[in-house]
Copies of this chain bind each other. A is one copy, B any other.
Amino acid sequence: MKLLDFSKLNGLVPVIVQDYKTNEVLMQAFMNESAFKITLKTNKATYFSRSRNKLWTKGEESGNFQIVRAVFVDCDNDSVLLKVEQIGNSACHTGYRGCYYRKLVSGKLKIAGKRIFKPESVYKRNSN
């Protein structure tokens, strides 16, 4: 049996990334089969970027790698849950702890998360 069914989403599966200690959901991304294999082999979370159309290892630019502590697969074999150790304490490129830092309150998004760093201090390569 193949571990994952990549056929439902044009070769991708959604991946949920959760802090292995606090269970906070840090982010959601996608993997293709290569990204999944590389993640298992290296133990560093690697995804497929839909916007850049290529593999990316989380942290390759920021240093905020995700060390994989456990991998779970859902009942339909088409979704993955990673429990990770988040290096640098932040998973989001905005500098917040995780990507879900805005809560919907009375129809509007309110900041509900904690900012760990200023993006311009971390993502310098493209601007220099």
Binding site for B on A (CB under 8 A): 3, 8-9, 14, 16, 18, 22-25, 27-28, 40, 50, 70-76, 79, 81, 92-94, 96, 99-104, 109, 112
Q: Contact at B14–A72, with CB atoms within 8 Å?
A: no
Q: A40 CA to B108 CA in the complex, in Å?
A: 12
Q: Which residues of chain B are near A93, meaning CB under 8 Å?
A: 75
Q: Are B104 and A72 in contact (CB under 8 A)?
A: yes
CB distance from A31 to the nearest CB of B (A): 13
Q: How far is the CB of A38 from chain B (nearest CB, A)?
A: 15
Cross-chain contact B103 with A75 (CB below 8 angstroms): no
Q: Find the residue from A70, A92, A100, A109 having the highest chain B CB count within 10 A.
A: A100
Interchain CA distance A100-B16 in the complex, whole Å? 11
Which of B3, B18, B25, B104 contacts A73, CB < 8 Å? B104
What are 8 A-B pairs at a CB distance below 8 A? Answer: A14-B28, A23-B24, A40-B104, A70-B104, A72-B102, A74-B99, A75-B99, A79-B99
A96 CA / B73 CA spacing, docked (Å): 13
Assess the A100–B81 pair: CB atoms within 8 A: yes
